Amino acid sequence: MIETVSTARAHGGVQGVYRHASATTGTTMTFSVFVPDHAPGARLPVVWFLSGLTCTHANVTEKGEYRAACAELGLIFVAPDTSPRGEGVADAPEYDFGQGAGFYVNATQAPWSAHFHMRSYVEQELPALIAAEFPADMARQGITGHSMGGHGALTIGLRNPDRFRSVSAFAPIVAPSQVPWGRKALTGYLGDDSAVWRAHDAVALIEDGARLDALLVDQGDADPFLAEQLRPELLAAACDDAGIPLTLRLQPGYDHSYYCVSTFMADHLRWHAERLG
């Protein structure tokens, strides 16, 4: 059962914001869905967008500039929140941990393990809800995301290649085990055993045998987090060793913001549409 928060007509479709009581997180979760106009009874392919640190569903919904392309291409666009929220949900004062920074893992460490189950939420609960409530063809799914959400898109896509026929990312954290953002989050949510982290690290997953048919990544070369936190060269090396066709585009002058994401969003959606049919 979902509750409609708002709907608006846009680009020949409906942009909605919804919430529901999540059994996975034990909280109310909010998400947005854009559904383009379509023939009665038609089922449309779905592209998931996972957002980054500090974000909610609203950042890409308001700044992502995806609706015109989705309407043209016939794609449903789903944007979940980045963490559980609300009274009684653990939080931290830093922007890169706690609420708004779920890192798309199932936390095993207290107090985070009570609610921070974003892996199961994005991989299982929310897809079942989308399949039940919207005209989605769940045999044709793609996934993308930005920054922490790019990490989520890569790892979820690599773990579920039969479910996601297309995977892309904007400025992703490609190797969280090797950078400060990731080490902090993985230690806090999953504990000190770095072997456990490998299922949540795109480079490690590729090293351990996970494969994709192809991958598209856009990265601004003026991104202030490029050298310390994002390190796309590690993904390029892993894909090269594994024979995964990677299109890595370093975009001159672009930073880490939604100005970059929105500029290349239509390119990514066309890339997904070609693979989703």
CATH number reported for the structural domain that contains residue 14 in this entry: 3.40.50.1820
User: What's the structural domain count of the chain?
Assistant: 1
Per-residue pLDDT, 144: 99
Band of pLDDT at residue 182, cut at 50, 70 and 90: very high
Contact 184, 103 (CB under 8 A): no
Region 182-208: mean pLDDT is 98
The per-residue pLDDT for 151 is 98
Q: Is 115 known to be catalytic?
A: no
**Adjacency order of strands within the sheet including 28-36:** 3-9, 13-21, 28-36, 76-80, 44-50, 136-145, 164-170, 215-220, 246-251
Catalytic: 256? yes
C-beta of residue 12 within 8 angstroms of C-beta of residue 52: no
Give yes or no for residue 46 having a pLDDT over 90. Answer: yes
Domain that holds residue 52: 3-276
Active site residue 120: no
pLDDT at position 1 is 86
Catalytic residue among 83, 147, 166, 168: 147
The reported pTM is 0.98
